Amino acid sequence: MIHTKHITLTTIFLIAFTCHSLLSAGQSLKVSKLEMNYPSPGIPYYHIKADIDLPSASMIEVEMAVNGKTLRYTDLHAEQELGDLSYPHLTNRPPSGAGLSQDNKLYHHPGVVGWVKWNPGETYEVKLSVRMKKSLQHSKADVILTNTQKITSPAGSPVFDTAWKNYKSVVLSETAGMERKAEPVEVLLAFYPDEVNDLKREIRVLAFDPVAKTVKEVPSQVYDIQEYLVEDDMAPDKNGKPTRDIPVWMPTVTARVAFLADVPARSSRVFMIYYRNKDAMIKTYTTDLLVQGEAPGLRVQNEFMEVGLHPNSGHFDQITLKSKPQYPLYHRKETNGAIHWNPEIYTPPVPWTHTSDWKPPQHVQSITGPVISFSDVWGNLREIPQVDASVRYEFYPDKPYFISTTNLRINETVQAIALRNAEIVFKRELITHAAWYDAIRDSIIEYDVTHMPELTDVKMPDDVPWISFYNKETGVGFAGIQLNYSNAGLENRTRLLNPFFYITGGPWIYWARALSLPFLSSNMQQMVPVPKGNFFSEKWAYLVFETNKGKQPYAPVLEWQKKLTSPLRIQLVEEVDDRVSKTVTELYIEKGKTGWEGRETGRH
């Protein structure tokens, strides 16, 4: 889940005060500390922080204005409530909560933090206004306290180019105890249409250095830009009665942004994504990720590996470890000859059909860039229009692995002898051993496949976390690290006959997931229905590695499995735009109680 952290007041309403509010008599607002600060994981934006001393403990509402402009992103917290700022803050109140929350907490020495995009060495006028009150609702007995001061921002470290008007902050946290270098990260961002000129030209990603207080640009890539420009119809109904006071939605542009991040072990770091500079020039980043050829038969390489996709199907067809180029891994022994075969289904009398049998796929899409390149192929299985499938590969710079995501969707019920996924096939002579973690025995099993009888199955649980093939003589290994495995049904529950994972040897050696496989059971001719609405999805990291010379040739797999199953945690923090309302309107499918009756929530 992506969190927006303390976007508005963490513990009270943030509202505007009018000039005719009741003034205090003989009381003043004391500001014990006022400072401008740099971003930190706990407050991941340039900000002003004010510590306030009130005459007495009270319920309050607070407003902060800088150079005459009221801040919409203001966080109020009790004394010592912020905690360790080297980690993301725990609490959050998005703008949608500002008009619905009720707070009867008493504050005496609160702190206020406001999002301010300050420039080094400049002077700013800060006005704080506090409404002290005895109840949740406003009354004539409320007391308004104000304090206006000037403050000069730090002059030591430069900020990013002021031609970029706005930024969104991303806090990345490392949880596996392993330092991350150039780790690929992807976030989905939303913008108002008038904030966007050309996102591919405008976006820059900056890493903030918490020690030097400086920013450094990192390679980034913008893609998958989509627009929804329909405005909410605020016109009155047929009787001339207003339908609502505020729009339920705003036109929105969304885009994916990928970038490379360095994050030390067990720590959090701030990255700022700058946008809104109509004069920005296109920025070209150079990494070791190189894509050649024409989809679907692409060739992809980086510093560690070279991968070839099959020219007919776009499936993973060959991989070479750059440190041992004389020992490529491939299959080419049966039918289409690819390494990666499925999803697949066998519904006699229709021939056994794999996604790797596409010639070509119905749909092909690819994107190349310095941070991520991917290939997507999808469509019906050949001769089985009742079943749709898709295969995606994602490649990154400076990494010895790529990510594969496969999906299978049953549009109409079919009767099957085989339903499989995650199959990886190599020429038998290229592999000497297999290794995997066995949950039943709670141990790693190393298995010599050189003398394995043909068409003998070595079975393991269907959710095996990782599995590897390698050659002890050449020192080249290949592993699958399972990132996600899920089976679901809409109209019908899944019907899986004895699911398991297994290895089989023949003129080839392969591993595969048997989702429902009577074909390898004692009664191999029985048909099992695969119901309409069933959906099968897998996500794997495929790793090529040089084997260790010690007792665990597969040791590199263990390190990468720990990293890949503990990705950097992401928190997105955004400034509140001035057009955001201070209350929220929901459209209910039926008229009835909302649960908010009797609460004062009109805070436009």
pLDDT tens readout for residues 287-313: 999 999 999 999 999 999 999 999 999
Check if 30-152 and 166-275 are the same fold. yes
Q: Give Cα 514 to chain centroid, integer Å.
A: 29
pLDDT band at 103 (very low <50, low <70, confident <90, very high): low
> Within 10 Å of residue 206's Cβ, how many Cβ atoms?
23
Kindly state the average pLDDT of the residues 186-190.
98
Q: By C-alpha distance, which of 390, 218, 222, 242 is closest to 313?
A: 390
Do 190 and 4 contact (CB within 8 A), yes or no? no
Selected from 2.60.40, 2.40.360, 1.10.1060, 3.40.1000, the CATH number assigned to the domain covering 166-275 reads 2.60.40
Show me where the domains of the chain are located. Answer: 30-152, 166-275, 290-553
Over residues 46-87, the pLDDT tens digits come to 999 999 999 999 998 899 999 999 999 998 888 777 889 999
Q: Provide CB contacts within 8 A for 388, sequence distance 6+.
A: 378, 379, 380, 381, 408, 409, 411
> Within 10 Å of residue 264's Cβ, how many Cβ atoms?
12
Q: Specify the range with the lowest mean pLDDT, choosing from 21-30, 88-97, 334-343.
A: 21-30
Over residues 374-395, the pLDDT tens digits come to 999 999 999 999 999 999 999 9
Task: Name the CATH architecture for the domain at 30-152.
Answer: Sandwich (2.60)
Q: What is the dihedral of CA 491, 496, 501, 507, to 10 degrees?
A: -100
Determine the Cα–Cα distance for residues 220 and 344; give it in Å rounded to an integer: 36
Determine the Cα–Cα distance for residues 537 and 542; give it in Å rounded to an integer: 16
* Distance, first Cα to last Cα, the chain: 28
pLDDT band at 18 (very low <50, low <70, confident <90, very high): very low
CATH class label, 290-553: mainly beta
Kindly state the average pLDDT of the residues 534-538.
97
Over residues 270-283, the pLDDT tens digits come to 999 999 999 999 99
One-letter-per-residue 3-state SS of 128-182: EEEEEECCCCCCCCCEEEEEEEEEECCCCCCCCCCCCCEEEEEEEECCCCCCEEE
Do 120 and 157 contact (CB within 8 A), yes or no? yes
> Within 10 Å of residue 334's Cβ, how many Cβ atoms?
13
> Coil, strand, or helix at residue 555?
helix
